[in-house]
Amino acid sequence: MNASRAVVRRLAHRRGANFSLGFRLLPVEKRRAVYAAYAACRIADDIVDEAEPGAGREEIRRRLDEWSEEVERTYRGSPGTPATRALAEVLARYPIPEHALLGLVDGCRMDLERGRYASFSELERYCELVAVTISEISLAIFGMLDARARDHGRQLAIALQLTNVCRDVGEDVRRDRIYLPLDELVRFGVTESELVAGNVDTEGYAALMAFQCERARSHFGEANPLPALLEADARPAVRVMGGVYRRVLDRVRRDPRGAFHARVELPLWQRFTAIAAGLLGRPFV
């Protein structure tokens, strides 16, 4: 089983740099559980986003179906991969909901079926599948002291996903995906063709992204009560993960054009700042 643990730990540190800063602050057993859960989520996402150029939609759908079946077998006690063996090990201790892992796969399927969202209500449904499901998984590991943690966890999950949306506009456009609600593009005078062409040095795009970032920031604010509603040994990790992402969001807000053309990464000093703020119990915003 140690080999399986090593596989999911390496995956978390390699693919989840921002999250892993918080993961490292968890006690050993919870950290192992989070690594296993993260790997299960990452694999589903990578089936879509990291598929080789020649893979068609039907092939990717087949792989997602196979992964769903692997998750279901794992919950029946028959894991067949290093990642799911690591997951099976922690299911005996933490009540990670099967429906959340399968819901995440449904969210990945959405990326095959559509690349545009007409309104924020449509985008919010997507966030429920690809982000709020992860909150459900995480809370099962972190330990809730109060049922209100679910609502605040949902707020944090949406804040993190909207940060990804704001950070990855350029990267997503190159994959023929636009997660910014189309009615809001119209409101700010930004066209799809401008995004595809990378023509984002405009007042309209700056105003659009300011609006998007402010929405995400408001969700961070709604999530502020969450850490106090969790078991004490999980609180620093949650504060750090939220704090790291909020700082990423702030950097996007300051330079949306730059963020379009190059992925925003926090400098080392700001990572240390986020860790310190989390350890001191500072709010997300």
* Domain range list for the chain: 1-96, 114-285
Name the CATH superfamily, with its identifier, for domain 1-96: Farnesyl Diphosphate Synthase (1.10.600.10)
The pLDDT tens digits along the chain (285 residues) read: 467 777 667 766 565 556 667 888 999 999 999 999 999 999 999 999 888 888 899 999 999 999 999 999 999 999 999 999 999 999 999 999 999 999 999 999 999 999 999 999 999 999 999 999 999 999 999 999 999 999 999 999 999 999 999 999 999 999 999 999 999 999 999 999 999 999 999 999 999 999 999 999 999 999 999 999 999 999 999 999 999 999 999 999 999 999 999 999 999 999 999 999 999 999 999
Handedness of CA 41, 45, 50, 54 (dihedral sign): positive
**Which of 224, 227, 216 is CA-nearest to residue 161?**
216
User: What's the token pair of residue 141?
Assistant: 């590991």
Measured distance CA(160)–CA(280) in Å, rounded: 21
Q: Confirm if 224 and 153 have CB atoms less than 8 A apart.
A: no
> Would 1-96 and 114-285 be classified into the same CATH topology?
yes
Q: Confirm if 90 and 83 have CB atoms less than 8 A apart.
A: no
Which amino acid type is present at position 168?
Answer: D
DSSP string, 61-76: HHHHHHHHHHHHHHHT
Determine the CATH number of domain 114-285.
1.10.600.10
- List of residues 6+ apart from 144 with CB closer than 8 A: 150, 229, 230, 231
User: What's the token pair of residue 142?
Assistant: 């972190």
